[in-house]
Amino acid sequence: MKVLVADDSATSRQMLRSVLAKWGYEVVLAENGAEAWDILADADPPPMAILDWVMPHLSGPEVCRRVRDTHREPYTYILLLTSKNTKGETVEGLEAGADDYIVKPFDQHELQVRLRAGKRIIDLQMDLLEAREELRERANKDLLTMLPNRSAIWTVLRQEISRCHRDNRTVGVILLDIDHFKRINDSYGHFAGDTVLRETAMRLRSNMRPYDQVGRYGGEEFLVVLPNCDLEQASHQAERMRQRLEETCISLEGIEITISASFGVTVSDGSEKDPDVFVRVADEALYRAKATGRNCVSRLTLEESTHWHPC
């Protein structure tokens, strides 16, 4: 684990570096408070810091206050080195944001034990952050297909529409529906249906640009967001996806299942900022694709749609 040692005494810095290195820590040195603050304000600061109380430019408690005022994650565990051993000064250091303190001259074993306690806190916090990130990922993912779920892909669409309004760009929107999905479930069971959904997700993802996004919109529907695509380009991409889905059957316990889908395509040029409008227009285009025999692409502009009523 990386530890910052900030002390204006070169002798003290070198002694601490030698001791900490012997205990397996990677040591970063600072010779004054301003330098310590620059290191702790970096994008990847050491998770632990040992700060001398009295330093040029910024004192140890002042560095503590600055670190705590940022409310950054992950947490930085701070231990103050001080020659002061009165109750008032101890309280001052802890109120500034220090987690612990040790009085100079100190016993090396005491320092080692205090650092171990700090490391336990840092390790626990990292576990909590990882658990929170996992929960966030699960909250935004469809666990069957591992695509963004309805809420997450909706957020992507809203952000892209806002971006195209701001930057005078276009964004393509595709809504697709697996053809006769209920028939697959009824004929082969829900396990087969789940397999079809997962395979559909995989084929869609494999046929997209790195910055395109696809999410499971609900049931057998998928929503695709194509930044910087006009209607012609979005329609071409939808046709590529359609061909990719139907080109190979799924083999499942000796059964060959053909996948096909119907696609509705529209595009935003920034004139309309409500994402719900584009989904409804894409859904109208999807309805037309189904009405003309399924397994095809239908496209619709806002002006052609019955769902758009400009102010």
Known catalytic residues are 220
Query: CA–CA separation, 85 vs 3, rounded Å?
Result: 24
- Residues 25, 28, 31, 34, CA torsion sign: negative
Closest C-alpha among 71, 76, 70 to residue 47: 76
Query: CA–CA separation, 116 vs 120, rounded Å?
Result: 6
- Beta-carbon contacts of 24 under 8 Å, excluding residues fewer than 6 positions away, are none
- Residues 116, 118, 121, 126, CA torsion sign: negative
Query: CA–CA separation, 49 vs 46, rounded Å?
Result: 7
- Beta-carbon contacts of 199 under 8 Å, excluding residues fewer than 6 positions away, are 250, 259
* C-beta of residue 75 within 8 angstroms of C-beta of residue 122: yes
Query: CA–CA separation, 171 vs 262, rounded Å?
Result: 20
Closest C-alpha among 214, 212, 94, 215 to residue 149: 215
Residue 90 CB coordination number (10 Å): 16
Query: CA–CA separation, 303 vs 271, rounded Å?
Result: 11
Query: CA–CA separation, 230 vs 53, rounded Å?
Result: 61
CA angle 192, 198, 201 (to 5 degrees): 140
